[in-house]
Amino acid sequence: MKTWIAFSSILGKDMSTYYLKPPNISWGIIFPLAWALMFFLRTGEPMDVREILPGIMSLSILFGTTSMLAVTITFERRRESFNRLLLAPLDLNLLMLAKTSGAILFGIVNGFVPVLIAFFLTDLGGINWVAVFLGVVLISITSTFMGLFIAVAVREVFEAQTFSNFFRFPMIFLCGLFIPLETLPIWIRPLSYILPLTYGADLLREAVNGWGYFHPGFSLAALLAFALGLFLYSIRNVKMKWID
Amino acid sequence: MAIIEVQGLTKKFGDLLAVDAIDFEVEEGEIFGFLGPNGAGKTTTINMLTGLTRITGGQVYIAGVDCRQAVKKVQSIIGVVPDESNLYDELSGLDNLAFCAALYGIPRAQGLKRGRRLLKQFGLEEAGDRSFRTYSKGMKRKLTIAAGIIHEPRILFLDEPTTGIDVVSARQIRNLIGDLHRQGRTIFLTTHYIEEAERLCSRVAFIVDGRIRHLDTVENLLEQAREEHILEFVLANERVLDQDFLQKEFPTARIEVSQNRVRVHTPRPTGLKPFIDRFSDLDCAVYEARLLRPTLEDVLIKITGMDTTGLQEVKMG
């Protein structure tokens, strides 16, 4: 009970002070619209909304979670308010889960904003919504934990932003969303396979459009493995670097 | 009964030995002062005792619990007030307190109730609904202390509680610390202000270069200082204000020079006149001369052998 009170308070505080602020809410709406517009300008032709929906959902989540978490944690570290959390009698794994839950929820909401927009533009019949939900949740989790990985690696807020982009932008082009995996140079393909977004985007594509490079079960397993690996690695680094 | 037991506590950062096998005990219900210059190892020691820094060597028991084995259990009975007021700018004073209470598993309704009581006790009742960022430095310090005791800890660690705030707020905070002590809390206090330690603490430890150089009751330390007699002169002529020169002039005394002040420490009671006469012979006017009551500051100098520059660091932070 005591643990739950602490957990929910950290989550509630982060939601109200960071994620539910007007700039972040508007980001969640503007970002998918901007990506949709970019696709339209690129092709100059009427778009198949369902075709681009998995990509826009994936990128909305990726961009909404990684830098938000990395920046908020780095910000709290710089102000030393994060030490207040480390001094609380709360297990470190639970503490970090509480800190990341806000970003995960924010990512899930971000992921469904493009779906809401698409609902008014096209027919969304035949979509495997269970797989969509699982895909959105797991992309949110892996992207958030990537943000945690970045937060542990940097000291300054601007470094968190820079480091986030260092990971995110290559991901856009390597995850198979815009450039099919089979057309990537063979020497670069292994990079695609070590990116969680490759599996997340593929799972969403399979759920929305009925095709993908990997079996959905394999993508799910890969995303779970990435989530667990990133979380454990980050916790290890927190122990090594922040409780030195 | 000792509530904090520290044996051979050591901290290394790479090759740097920050804390070097220190031993001490803090009795339940006392205010224990931990004094030393910047970089002496005070904050590192607090961080090890509270679980913010890993212990390299030695043992720490808090209320009988091994800090290395069960740090979370220890954290549930301690409160920590860091040297920076590190609450959340975005939250109001009251919400900050309720949040800090929740971190210890206290439901929000109860946290708010305790928070209101503390705001009243700390004279912040009017500011409870304002965001923390609008608080003055003194108010921030007071709220940070309130946040440190919202969960009613048995032991409170206070790291430089009055550094960098105005005189009135500092006095209020000292009174609050006194009140907390009277309520039966054990307080571990680090401070740069020797006068503060002298006023508040029952025992003090001096840490220099990671080692405890002396630990005793304030009374005993002052008694040691009383064995020494201190005369202070304010001089006009800067020519004679060279410490080595004066030391040669008065070989039986210990001389300290700071700006145009000369302090003479002698082992036997000595009158002012012989010194004034000697300064006069040296063609040096004495503006002011007086006998000083020995303070903890004098003990610190005597024990640590610190020069006046080091002392300024200790006094000013």
Here the tokens at position A206 are 């399979």
Enter the DSSP assignment of B133: G
Q: Is the domain of B58 the same as that of B19?
A: yes
Here the tokens at position B298 are 């004098």
Q: Is the domain of B165 the same as that of B285?
A: no
Q: Is the domain of B31 the same as that of B149?
A: yes
**Structural domain count, chain B:** 2
- Give me the CATH number covering residue B61: 3.40.50.300
Q: Amino acid letter at A139?
A: I
Q: Is the domain of B209 the same as that of B241?
A: no
Query: Following DSSP, what letter does each residue of A189-225 receive, concatenated?
Result: HHHHHT-HHHHHHHHHHHHHHS--SS-HHHHHHHHHH
CA nearest A6 in B: which residue?
B103
Does any domain span residue B12? yes
pLDDT in 10s for each residue of chain B, 317 residues: 899 999 999 999 999 999 999 999 999 999 999 998 888 899 999 999 999 999 999 999 999 999 999 999 999 999 999 988 899 999 999 999 999 999 999 999 999 999 999 999 999 999 999 999 999 999 999 999 999 999 999 999 999 898 878 888 888 889 889 999 999 999 999 987 777 888 899 999 999 899 998 899 988 877 776 777 888 888 876 666 677 877 887 888 888 888 788 888 887 777 787 788 888 887 788 888 888 876 777 777 776 666 545 544 444 33
Q: Is the domain of B43 the same as that of B106?
A: yes
Domain boundary residue, one of B180, B205, B222: B222
Domain boundary residue, one of B222, B247, B270: B222
- State residue B305's pLDDT score: 66
Is the minimum CB–CB distance between A81 and chain B shorter than 8 Å?
Answer: yes
Burial per residue of B206-215, b for 16 or more beta-carbon CB atoms within 10 angstroms, e otherwise: bbbebebbbb
Residue B84 to residue A80, Cβ atoms within 8 A: yes
Does any domain span residue B155? yes
Q: Is the domain of B210 the same as that of B256?
A: no
Gap between the Cα atoms of B42 and B44, Å rounded: 5
Q: Is the domain of B143 the same as that of B194?
A: yes
- State residue B225's pLDDT score: 67
Q: Is the domain of B188 the same as that of B251?
A: no
- State residue B193's pLDDT score: 78
- State residue B240's pLDDT score: 61
Domain boundary residue, one of B190, B205, B222: B222
List the single residue in B54, B82, B106 with the smallest CB-CB distance to A243. Answer: B54
Does any domain span residue B312? no
Label residue B259 left, alpha or beta by phi (over 0 means left) and psi (-120 to 50 means alpha).
left
Gap between the Cα atoms of B317 and B160, Å rounded: 9
Is the minimum CB–CB distance between B152 and chain A shorter than 8 Å?
Answer: no
Burial per residue of B122-161, b for 16 or more beta-carbon CB atoms within 10 angstroms, e otherwise: bebeebbeeebeebeebbbbbbbbbbbbbbebbbbbbbbb
Domain that holds residue B214: 2-222
Q: Is the domain of B204 the same as that of B126?
A: yes
- List, for residues A121-153, the tens digit of each pLDDT value: 888 888 999 999 999 999 999 999 998 988 888
Its ipTM equals: 0.87
Q: Is the domain of B131 the same as that of B280?
A: no
List the single residue in B53, B72, B86 with the smallest CB-CB distance to A243. Answer: B53
Q: Model pTM?
A: 0.82
Min Cα separation A91/chain B (Å): 7
In 3D space, the residue among B88, B162, B100, B166 whose CA is nearest the CA of residue B130 turns out to be: B88
Q: Is the domain of B115 the same as that of B233?
A: no
Give the number of other CB atoms < 10 A from CB of residue A216: 18
Domain boundaries, chain A: 2-242
- Give me the CATH number covering residue B248: 3.30.70.100
Q: Is the domain of B240 the same as that of B256?
A: yes
